[in-house]
Structure 1
Amino acid sequence: MSGINEAGVRGGDVIKDIGTDDDWQPTVIESLCMNCHQNGTTRLLLTRIPFFREIIVSSFSCDHCHWSNTEIQSAGEIQEQGICYTLKIKTKQDLNREVVKADSATTRIPELDFEIPPFTQKGSLSTIEGLLERAVSGLEQEQPARREADPEVAARIDEFIKKLQELKDVEEEFTLVIEDPSGNSFVENPMAPQKDEALTVTRFKRTIEQDKQLGIRADDDDGENENDGEEPAGNDLETMREVIIMATNCDSCGHRTNEVKSGGATEKQGTKITLHITDASDMTRDVLKSETCAVLIPELEFELGMGGLGGKFTTLEGLLKDVKDLIVDNNPFVSGDSGVSDKVQKINEFGAKIEKIIAGELDVHIILDDSAGNSYLQNVYAPEPDPEMTIEKYTRTLEQNEDLGLNDMKTEGYEQEN
C-alpha cells in the first residue's frame, strides 16, 4: 500500500467500521510517493465484497510525477482451505473475466514457465488482461537500469515481455493458474450458475510452510501437536461406510468449523445418486458429500464440479443453501460496480429457483456424482427401495482416475526400489 507505512499511519487509526451512512467517504491521507519521494495522496475505503468479505481498497496518486497505484488488501479472515483456479484461456473474451487476486496468491502461466510468487505483488481487483498488463509493467520497471548493468539479460527479458504481450492476442490457447493458500482469491465464471468448462476450481489443505507465510502459525511450530484444538471423531454410517468428522472450536474467538472426509479407501467404482425431489420433506434427508463429489441439477443446467464446497455431512436443504451461498450470496461480481445487469439477473433468478426447490415448489432432480464412490444420500424408505432415488455404480474413466491420483499409485511391490 504505497506510502502508508512510510507515513507512519496505522490502518486502525484511519479505517472506520462498515456502517450504513450513505455519506461515508474514503479516508484521505497525505503519504510519501515512492516514485518521486514527494508527498502524494492515499485514499482508503473499507468495504465488503461477498465471498471476499471485507477488503481495503487503496488508491494512491501523486500530483508531482502523476504516478498512481490502486490495490486491495483482504480485511477478512483467512479461509479454512486454500483455493486454486485453473483457467484455459481460448478467446479474447476470456481476458475480460474479473479476478480478485490476494497478495498471498501465486500466479502461473505454465506454457511460458512464468510464475509470480506470493507477496511479491499487492492484492488487486482486475481482469485477466489487467493481470497480464501488470506483469509486463513489473518486468519493464527495472529494464532501464538492467540494460546498463547487463544488456544480455535485459535482451532476454525484453523477449519474454514480448511473449507476455502476445498472449493478449490469444492466438494460441494458454493456461492461467491462481493458487491462493488464504482462500481469498476469485476468478469469475461468466456462465454462472452453469458450469464453466474452461475453469477448474480446487480446494486444498495448506502446508505448514504456507501457514507460516500467512502468519497463522509460529515460525518454530513444525506441527508436532497437529491435533491440538481439534476434536476428530469417527462416525460409522451403517448404510454407508466410515467417515471422519473433524471439528475445530476456538474458546478465544468462538470460531467453529467442521469438515467431513471419507475414512475408507477409494471405492473400485464411482457412484451416481439421482433423487427426484417431489416434496419439501425431501429436504430433511441426510447427505454425505465427499470432496470428490460433483453436484448437478439438470433442470437448472447447473453443475458444481469436484472440490466445490468441500466435504460435508448435512441435510439436502443445507446442501442447497450452501450452493446458493456459493453462487449467489457470496459472488463478488453480483453487487456493486462489478455487477452486470443481465448477469446479476440471471444469478438472482437461479437463487430464487433454489429457494423454490427448498420450499418444495419446483420439481427437479439432484444428482451426486462421486467418482471415488464415497458419497451418500439417505433412503427414507429403508430397508425398502426408494422409489424416487436411483444409485448407479460405474467404471471410472482414465481422466477421473487421474484426478483422484490413482493412475500413478503403486499398491504392489512399492517397497522395492525402482
Structure 2
Amino acid sequence: MGTNKPLFRNLNADDPDPEATEIESLCMNCHATGLTRLLLTKIPFYKEVVLMSFTCDQCGYQNNEIQSGAPISDKGVKFVLTVKSERDLNRQIVKSDYASIKLVEIDFEIPSESQKGEVTTVEGIINRIIMGLEQDQPVRRIQHPDIATQIDEVINKLQKLKTLEEPFTLILEDMSGNSFIENPNAPKNDERCKVHYFTRNKEQDHEVGIFTKEEITGEKESAILHPISGYTLEELEGEVLKFPTNCSNCGSPCTTNMKMTNIPHFKEVVIMATTCDICGHRTNEVKSGSGIEEKGLRIEVDVNSKDDFSRDILKSETCSLKIPQLQLEVGPHALGGRFTTVEGLLKAIQEQLCDPQNSYLYMFGDSQEPKSKRKFEEFIKKFDEILEGELPVTIVLDDPAGNSYIQSMRDDDQTDEGLRITHYQRSFEQNDDLGLNDMKTENYETA
C-alpha cells in the first residue's frame, strides 16, 4: 500500500523511478530485434503524452515518436501562426499524426497522417521538410532534371523563410485536437497565434476512430449516452450521484460526485467534483443544465475594491475570460466551468499559473530566459495587488453559449454601475465551436 503512482508523471531529473517501459520489437530497417522504450509523461500547458524511442544495435537504426496519451479531444483545433522573429521560429510545437501543416506564402502543405507525431519547433518543421526534399535530389538530377530544378526552387524558398526576410504564416490544423503551439508570452495573450476549435464532421470522426453505436452495431440511437443518462429528474435533484471516471491530472481511475442544483435568478446547473486518491488532484466543475441560449453573452465587471470580490460568478465551460489591464486572456478550457466569487476566480487563475506541479517549474527551468522569468514574476505581483484591492481591473467574460452569470449588487436584480451585460448574435465560427452548424446533419449527432 502507498506505492500507487500516477500513470502520467511530470518529468523530474531527481525521480528515482521514471517508469520507462522497455519492449523488444522488430526493426523495420534490418528486421532484427531492437528495443523500444516507452515513457508516459505530461507536457505543461498541454496534456498527457507517450514518448517512444526505438534503437536497433544490429544496424544502428533509431526512431523517436510521440503519441497522445489523453482521449481524443471533443473538437479539432486550428492554429494560425504569424512568424516574425527568431523567437517565433523557436516556438515548441506538438504535432500529432492527424495534423496537417501549411506554409501559406510558398503554397506548401504537409497532409494529415503523412508523418508521425513529434515534438519540434517551427524551424524544426522547416528543416525536416528541407531534409525530405533533398533526400533523393542527386538521383532526380540525373533521371528527372526538370523536377529536380523545381524542387530546388522550393528548397530555396524554405531556406529564405528561416532568414525572416519577410513574415510568413504557418497553419496547423488537427482534427483530433491533440496538437499544440507554444505561447512564449504566457500567461499573456498570444497576438501572433490565433486558435480556433471546430466540431468534426462525420468523415473526420471516422478518420480518428470515433463511431456512433448505430454505425458499429446497427442499433439506432438518438444521442450518445452520458453517465447521467437513465436517472429521473427527481433523482438528479434529490441526491449526489457517483460515477467512475479518470483523473484529468494523472489518468488514474477515480470517482466523480455529481449534483444538480438551481442558482437563484439564473438557471439549473450541474456541479461535479472529483478527487484522485493516487495523485491528490481535485477538480470542481459546473455545467449548464439547460442547453445553449439563443444569443451569446458578454459580461464586464469592474473590480475597484474588496467589496466587489464578494459577487457570485458562474463561468461556464464555454466562457473565455480577459483582464485588459494585465493583457491576460484565459481560454474557455483553461479553468473549465465553476461557480465561485470574483475573488475565488482570481485566486483560481493565480493558483493555476503558480502551481509547482504543473506550470511554474516547467515554465522557468534552466533553459528559460531570465527576461521572461522576470516578467512573469512581475505579472504575479500585479495579481497580488489586485487581490489586496490596490489595483483596479475589469474582468470580461465572453460566453457564446450564454450560460454564464454574475451577481448584481442591487436588490431588484438590475445591473449596477460596475456591471455591464451585453447579448450578441453569434458568428458562424462561434456556432461551429458550439457544434450548432452540424445539428441538422442527417442520421448523425455529435456528443
TM-score (norm 2): 0.65
Matched, 1:296 2:295: no
Aligned equivalent of 1:229: 226
Aligned equivalent of 1:127: 121
Q: Deviations over 1:305-340 (max 9, x none)?
A: 6x6659846334665466457755555952667655
Contact residue 203 and residue 308 of structure 1 kept, 8 A: no
Q: Deviations over 1:356-410 (max 9, x none)?
A: 85x66664423226496946422142416665623175999xxx9686689xxxx
Q: How many residues align?
A: 377
Matched, 1:23 2:1: no
Cα gap change, 1:387 to 1:257, in 2 (>3 Å): closer
**SS in structure 1 opposite 2:152?**
helix
Aligned equivalent of 2:160: 166
Cα gap change, 1:57 to 1:40, in 2 (>3 Å): same
Aligned equivalent of 1:379: 408
Aligned equivalent of 2:444: none
The whole-number CA distance in structure 2 between the counterparts of 1:102 and 1:210 is 15
Aligned equivalent of 1:156: 150
Aligned equivalent of 1:314: 339
Identify which of 302, 320, 329 aligns with 1:275.
302
Q: Which runs of 5+ in 2 are unaligned?
A: 1-6, 234-260, 275-282, 433-447
Identify which of 386, 395, 408 aligns with 1:367.
395
Contact residue 263 and residue 269 of structure 2 kept, 8 A: no
In the TM superposition, residue 130 of structure 1 has moved relative to its aligned partner by: 0.9
Identify which of 193, 198, 208 aligns with 1:204.
198
The whole-number CA distance in structure 1 between the counterparts of 2:371 and 2:168 is 28
Q: Which runs of 5+ in 1 are unaligned?
A: 1-15, 250-254, 407-418
User: How is 1:175-194 mapped onto 2 (pairs within 5 angstroms)?
Assistant: 175-194=169-188
User: How is 1:49-60 mapped onto 2 (pairs within 5 angstroms)?
Assistant: 49-60=43-54
Deviates more, 1:72-81 or 1:18-27: 18-27
The whole-number CA distance in structure 2 between the counterparts of 1:259 and 1:142 is 55
The whole-number CA distance in structure 1 between the counterparts of 2:300 and 2:130 is 48
Which amino acid letter does the alignment assign opposite residue 383 of structure 1?
Answer: D
In the TM superposition, residue 295 of structure 1 has moved relative to its aligned partner by: 2.4
Q: Deviations over 1:106-133 (max 9, x none)?
A: 2222333322233322222221111211
Which amino acid letter does the alignment assign opposite residue 77 of structure 2?
Answer: I
**SS in structure 1 opposite 2:363?**
coil
The whole-number CA distance in structure 2 between the counterparts of 1:45 and 1:311 is 28
In the TM superposition, residue 75 of structure 1 has moved relative to its aligned partner by: 1.9
Cα gap change, 1:381 to 1:156, in 2 (>3 Å): same
TM-score (norm 1): 0.68
- Aligned-residue sequence identity (percent) comes to 36
Which amino acid letter does the alignment assign opposite residue 301 of structure 1?
Answer: Q
The whole-number CA distance in structure 2 between the counterparts of 1:257 and 1:245 is 8
Aligned equivalent of 1:89: 83
Q: Deviations over 1:219-276 (max 9, x none)?
A: 935996334337799x999967x999899x9xxxxx9987659734447xx8451321
In the TM superposition, residue 166 of structure 1 has moved relative to its aligned partner by: 2.0
User: How is 1:130-145 mapped onto 2 (pairs within 5 angstroms)?
Assistant: 130-141=124-135, 143=137
In the TM superposition, residue 89 of structure 1 has moved relative to its aligned partner by: 0.7
User: How is 1:5-24 mapped onto 2 (pairs within 5 angstroms)?
Assistant: 18=9, 22-24=15-17
Cα gap change, 1:18 to 1:264, in 2 (>3 Å): closer
In the TM superposition, residue 198 of structure 1 has moved relative to its aligned partner by: 0.7
Contact residue 77 and residue 179 of structure 2 kept, 8 A: yes
Which amino acid letter does the alignment assign opposite residue 410 of structure 2?
Answer: Y
Aligned equivalent of 2:277: none
The whole-number CA distance in structure 2 between the counterparts of 1:93 and 1:153 is 34
In the TM superposition, residue 168 of structure 1 has moved relative to its aligned partner by: 0.9
In the TM superposition, residue 155 of structure 1 has moved relative to its aligned partner by: 3.7
Contact residue 95 and residue 117 of structure 2 kept, 8 A: yes
Aligned equivalent of 1:79: 73
Deviates more, 1:95-104 or 1:386-395: 386-395
The whole-number CA distance in structure 2 between the counterparts of 1:257 and 1:302 is 22
Cα gap change, 1:147 to 1:362, in 2 (>3 Å): farther
Contact residue 285 and residue 380 of structure 1 kept, 8 A: no
Contact residue 266 and residue 373 of structure 1 kept, 8 A: yes
The whole-number CA distance in structure 1 between the counterparts of 2:141 and 2:33 is 30
